[in-house]
Structure 1
Amino acid sequence: MPINPVDESSLRATKPRNYYLVPLIFITSLFFFWGLVHNIDPTLIAHLKKTFTLNNFESSLVDFSVFIAYFIMAIPAGLLMKKWGYKSGIVFGLLLFAVGAFLFIPAANTHQYFYFLAALFVVASGLAFLETAANPYVTVLGPPETSSFRLNLAQSFNGIAAAVAPIIGKYTILNNTHISTEEIGQMDTQAKAKFIQEASDSVKYPFMILGFIILVVAVLFIFLKLPEIGKDKTETRTRSFYEILRIKHTRWAIIAQFFYVGAQICFSSFFLVYAEKAAGLNHQVASNYLAVYGALFMIGRVVGTIFMKFIEAPKLLTIYSIVAIILTLVAIFGHNAYTIYCLLGIGFFISIMFPTIFALGVKNLGEDTKTASSLIVMSVVGGAIIPLALGYIADLTNNIQYGYSVPLICLLVVAFFGYRGHKPSLK
């Protein structure tokens, strides 16, 4: 597809503000779609664990497949956009997304867990392209001073997906919930094969429908006119990955994003375990609190977006980080049911961190935004690594609360980024 880069500053100067409205609406829709996939993962993990009688490590490979895809595909995504532009990255990401969704069909038909992981890896590879393109693109669709506001607004739709995905998963994927793991183990070969077939089909059809929807969205983007933000006329060349890493605020954004994503996965993935051990709640009751956690995360995105109209993004990020740190300390050393309310509060206050760190990390980079974006997206691999540390400490101390010292350290890194590490430097 033809790409006609234009000077970013001249584009903003000559085009009316509503020139960005339609592109912004379409780009924002992407945040909902990848949020849908990420937030249906917990349902998928529980379902596949039961279907294939997996242990905890084996079921955790679902999350690993997602985050390792981001790590592997982020740089290729950045290189593709550097050569062909944001629109190409978005369309290619959508096509990969759709292919991965359709791969759930043979995965279900073969009844092999590995094929489900492979399909999920392809889906996540598409998401890596989408996030590498959409996150920075939102920041340049308008005045630079409101880039964090726009990104938080778009990420609010990711929060909406966090509330919707569990409901979709409950009524489409989760079936045979009345059958226990023990009962599955006692089934004869024919009965177990029938159970696995039904359970696999319950995953196949939702992803097949999602694949068709994503294909339609890809076609719409092919014909949609998107302003391509190109090189500034004063620039002679773009920076290499190594040179991008030498830019202080971008380097700190990569570090902060690594630790933030790790902390977010810790809080959500271990929520039920924490609720049972620290607050004495059974899984049925704790699941209700987990739904509230997701809702507060969504509300936090919306409220944070509003606050950014009045408070500078770095200052708000610092304030939210400090409050989250205090709540985490109570969650570590507190007792009884009130500790669970601390986790709910944490969900609210960490909600703005990803988009804010991202927007501050690519600020003032011009054409180098694409390269920096891919590096920041790569840093989400923290979601695959840091939770392992929480689990290790929790097992070592036989106390899940002490394990939360890991996300506490992560939040300290984010607070530093908001206080000092974000300050722009192009040297």
Structure 2
Amino acid sequence: MSVSNSNKLAIALVTSLFFFWGFVHNLDPILIPHLRNAFSLTHLQASLVDSAVFIAYFLLAIPAGIIMKRYGYKAGILIGLCLFAVGCFLFIPAANQISYAYFLGALFVVACGLTILETAANPYVTILGEPSKATQRLNFAQSFNGLAAFIAPILGGKYILTEQPKSDTEIADMSEQVRIAYIQAETAAVKGPYIILGLIILVVAAVLFFTKLPDIKDDEGDGKVGFFHTLRHKNVKWGVIAQFFYVGAQVCILSFMVLYATEVAGIAPMAAAKYASFTGLAFMLGRFVGTFFMKYIQPLKLLTLYSIICIGLSFIVIYGSGQLTVYALIAVAFFMSIMFPTIFAVGVQGIGSDTKSASSLIVMSIVGGAILPPLLGLISDMTGNLQLGYWVPLICFVVVLLFALANKNITDQAGKTA
């Protein structure tokens, strides 16, 4: 089955979107330590940055699926981009009001846009071409998400992070007027990057609006089957479970990288942002390398191997010391990089008219990114040891391994699942 020129253009345009939502997601590791310092937050309170983002995936995924069923993939993508831009612009009043709650609200609106965008774009890429290459195609598209994971911490660290942030004690010793001025200066630093990102997203939305994209029509049957009926497919059910735990692990690894490097390895915040960038680079390279390996190794076999490696590296992250632990975290990012697209592609594989519903449910399960990082933060606060919190991602990787083993007999042909 050859890919038409219109499909190639659609794949190229939609693939570019993976970069943009990857970019905004990977500003979170910069926002977390920055806002934690500005507002003197605990680990648990700082982790609410991720919760504000990923709770939107739980709340908006099914409405996003309904939008796609009624209006098609292109409409879903455009609506998602518009909400994405609005959320970016809300960082202006959030910074002006110097309120942590306002920042969480702005992030929630951004995430609502991302939910609709991802619910549309991920399955769209899998069906625009040969079914046998769907997993490889989605891994390639998600590689540009990895490119954003490399670039975002560099730019975020340069324009958002403070070179010499004040300690909690220093902030507490300030007079009320000086303290407010300091927090105002810290929060104002986030406005520029998000305004620019919002403007770029509006331009991208305009380009897509005037571009004709093929809309794949499914056989929707009688239209009366509910979203959760899709869980009758073994691969969908496992996909929902595995994606919940995987995204929780990914957020724990990427979003806490700067905090981990500073508190565990004693690295200065500005230098730690560079390590976060290296983590993004490893994540990006992992996806490109994984996409290449999938030409020769079945995706689920590669997922099995990578899951085992991540479990082993997690023990070093928990019980190691010094910079070795940071290098282990960077290596985890490399090997976990193929997990999201592989789980997603296998989860929606061969289910025909249930594809849009399955996409909604799997995106809905991204709420794991809202629930599991606070658990890491809570364990860290209770034990006084950030490293012990990384038992959370270790257990997540065990679940991903179980997903790979449970679906190992699934074929690469549409319509045939184990």
TM-score by length of 1: 0.88
Q: Residue 292 of structure 1: which of 266, 270, 278 is its match?
A: 278
Aligned equivalents of 2:51 and 2:85: distance in 1?
A: 20
Letter of the 2:360 counterpart: S
Q: Residue 228 of structure 2: which of 236, 242, 252 is its match?
A: 242
Residue in 2 that maps onto 1:5: none
Letter of the 2:297 counterpart: I
CA apart distance, 1:174? 2.5
Kindly report which structure 2 residues correspond to 1:280-359, keeping only aligned pairs within 5 A, or say none.
280-284=265-269, 287-334=273-320, 337-359=323-345
CA apart distance, 1:420? 2.2
SS of the aligned residue for 2:26 comes to helix
How many residue pairs get matched? Answer: 412
Residue in 2 that maps onto 1:378: 364
Aligned equivalents of 2:61 and 2:136: distance in 1?
A: 24
- The alpha-carbon distance between structure 1 residues 277 and 169, as it changes in their structure 2 partners (threshold 3 A), is closer
Is 1:43 aligned with 2:30? yes
Residue in 2 that maps onto 1:81: 68
Letter of the 1:85 counterpart: G
Kindly report which structure 2 residues correspond to 1:2-401, keeping only aligned pairs within 5 A, or say none.
16-175=3-162, 177=164, 179-232=166-219, 235-237=221-223, 239-271=225-257, 280-284=265-269, 287-334=273-320, 337-394=323-380, 400-401=386-387
Q: Quick check: 2:3–2:129 contact (8 Å CA) kept in 1?
A: no
- The alpha-carbon distance between structure 1 residues 391 and 194, as it changes in their structure 2 partners (threshold 3 A), is closer
Larger CA deviation: 183-192 vs 144-153: 183-192
SS of the aligned residue for 1:310 comes to coil
Cα deviations by residue, 1:381-400 (Å, 9 ceiling, x for unpaired): 11222234444555666655
Q: Quick check: 2:44–2:381 contact (8 Å CA) kept in 1?
A: no
Aligned equivalents of 2:190 and 2:322: distance in 1?
A: 37
CA apart distance, 1:197? 3.1
Q: Quick check: 2:126–2:134 contact (8 Å CA) kept in 1?
A: yes
Q: Quick check: 1:62–1:120 contact (8 Å CA) kept in 2?
A: yes
Identity %: 53
Cα deviations by residue, 1:120-161 (Å, 9 ceiling, x for unpaired): 110110000011010110001100011111111111111111
Cα deviations by residue, 1:74-120 (Å, 9 ceiling, x for unpaired): 11101111111111110100111111111112222222222111111
Q: Residue 406 of structure 1: which of 368, 381, 392 is its match?
A: 392
Residue in 2 that maps onto 1:3: none
Larger CA deviation: 160-169 vs 406-415: 406-415
TM-score by length of 2: 0.90
Residue in 1 that maps onto 2:413: none
Aligned equivalents of 2:222 and 2:373: distance in 1?
A: 43
Larger CA deviation: 332-341 vs 159-168: 332-341
Letter of the 1:168 counterpart: L
Letter of the 1:113 counterpart: Y
CA apart distance, 1:376? 0.5
Aligned equivalents of 1:388 and 1:109: distance in 2?
A: 27
Q: Quick check: 1:238–1:367 contact (8 Å CA) kept in 2?
A: no
Larger CA deviation: 185-194 vs 394-403: 394-403
SS of the aligned residue for 1:378 comes to helix
Aligned equivalents of 2:247 and 2:123: distance in 1?
A: 18
Aligned equivalents of 2:383 and 2:281: distance in 1?
A: 32
- The alpha-carbon distance between structure 1 residues 331 and 166, as it changes in their structure 2 partners (threshold 3 A), is closer
- The alpha-carbon distance between structure 1 residues 54 and 163, as it changes in their structure 2 partners (threshold 3 A), is same
Gapped regions of structure 2 (runs ≥ 5) = 411-415
Calculate the aligned-residue CA RMSD, in Å.
2.6
- The alpha-carbon distance between structure 1 residues 333 and 47, as it changes in their structure 2 partners (threshold 3 A), is closer
Cα deviations by residue, 1:234-274 (Å, 9 ceiling, x for unpaired): x5547422211121110000001111111222223444565
Aligned equivalents of 2:74 and 2:386: distance in 1?
A: 45
Is 1:416 aligned with 2:402? yes
